[in-house]
Amino acid sequence: MKNILLALALIVFIGCKDKKKEDLILDMNKSQKEMSKKEEAVLTQNIDAPFSLNFTDGSVLSMKKKENGFNIDNGNLPTMFVFFTTWCPPCLAQIPLINIIDEKYKGYLQVITIIADENKEKEMVNNFVKNNNIKNKVVSDESSEIFMKSLGGINGVPYILLYDATGKKTKEYSGLIPGEMLDIDIQKVIKR
């Protein structure tokens, strides 16, 4: 009798274990399908079509690729895009300089941080922005992937792009940039 109860208990236990495994596999397949749909939407996005960058504060910036840059719907201000990841030490080192530039040229230059991490969980990004005192506009959703695709991708971070008031790309920088160099190039594109 004890052996029968033990065998019955093992069958029930193994069945539950297999059921959990099946549920886990179904959940993984569902998550993979959802991720594939998001990736497919980004991959099939026409890079010449207008798109919007969605900021973490809920505001939106409309853009459209053109031959030598972008039409940027930002009141004809020069724009600096700063690409970071949350895990990159040089990116963290660059944040204070970006904050200084944002404050110094407020009203003359729009500074936008693009979080280029694969993990774009809203809470994680908001904590990163808060903990690192990032003062400018931040993009961290799938719209950042569309932007990077329209650029032809980026090869590393930190990566900074500077556009004049007409949306023409004037400079690009890869890696840590000395503040003086960035300041000189910004002064060439702003109108005071």
Same domain, 84 and 19: no
Same domain, 110 and 184: yes
The partner residues of 54 in beta bridges, in order of sequence, read: 60
Mean pLDDT by 10 residues, the chain (192 residues): 44 34 43 46 61 93 93 93 94 96 96 89 89 94 92 92 96 94 95 68
Same domain, 65 and 129: yes
Same domain, 55 and 35: no
Same domain, 36 and 55: no
pLDDT of residue 46: 59
User: b vs e for 65-92, b when ≥16 Cβ sit within 10 Å of the residue's Cβ?
Assistant: beeebbebebeebbbbbbbbbbebeebb
Same domain, 35 and 55: no
Same domain, 139 and 107: yes
Domain that holds residue 165: 51-189
Same domain, 24 and 88: no
